[in-house]
Structure 1
Amino acid sequence: MAMECTRCGACCVAPDIAALDKPLGMRCPHLTADNLCSVYERRPDVCRAYQADDVCRLIDAPTLEERVGKYLALFELTEEARAIRQSGCSSMRKARHG
């Protein structure tokens, strides 16, 4: 079920985004400090197609960090994201094949 976007930024941090070579759990380089997209008019199709949904409700939390943690836990990706962060890998391709 679609819902209005709260502009929390979780969808720009938690999932990997192949079109941007952004790894799982890493902040998109285009996400500003106020959690808005700095390339909004030029964002990739995958970002344009994204619609806020029930997952947004399930991961509701006071902070972006907590939302991302809930997202990763919901999809059982916490350990994978932790390994990527610890490796310091800023490229999705390197994270998957490194």
Structure 2
Amino acid sequence: MDCTRCGACCVAPDIAALDKPLGLRCPHLGADNLCTVYERRPQVCRDYQPDAVCRLIEAPTLEERVHKYLALFELTAEADDVRQRGCYSMRHARRG
């Protein structure tokens, strides 16, 4: 399956290698939903391969795709908590 460049994988999941919390936009994701550090992105990003989840979360906007991703994995409440607490890093989010 080819990447649709929807950006959801750079927002919805947490990315430890980038200290990016659940549900927050990666600081390296450009306005065009493309990685601005693509050539030097971490290995976890290099290893990611589009799969069936990409099709399951298809939607017109990035916000809708992220919402569907979080709901699919039952992470909506946890992501809402991270956003409400203003967590800017995974370390900060884990301190709760």
Give the TM-score normalised by structure 2. Answer: 0.98
1:21 maps to: 19
Distance of 1:32 and 1:58 partners within structure 2: 23
Runs of 4+, deviation exceeding 6 Å: none
Distance of 1:73 and 1:95 partners within structure 2: 19
Distance of 2:73 and 2:67 partners within structure 1: 10
Structure 1 regions of 5+ residues with no counterpart? none
1:82 maps to: 80
1:44 maps to: 42
Considering only aligned residues, what root-mean-square deviation do their CA atoms show, in Å? Answer: 0.5
Distance of 2:83 and 2:50 partners within structure 1: 25
Give the TM-score normalised by structure 1. Answer: 0.96
Number of aligned pairs?
96
Q: Are residues 1:57 and 2:55 paired? A: yes
1:69 maps to: 67
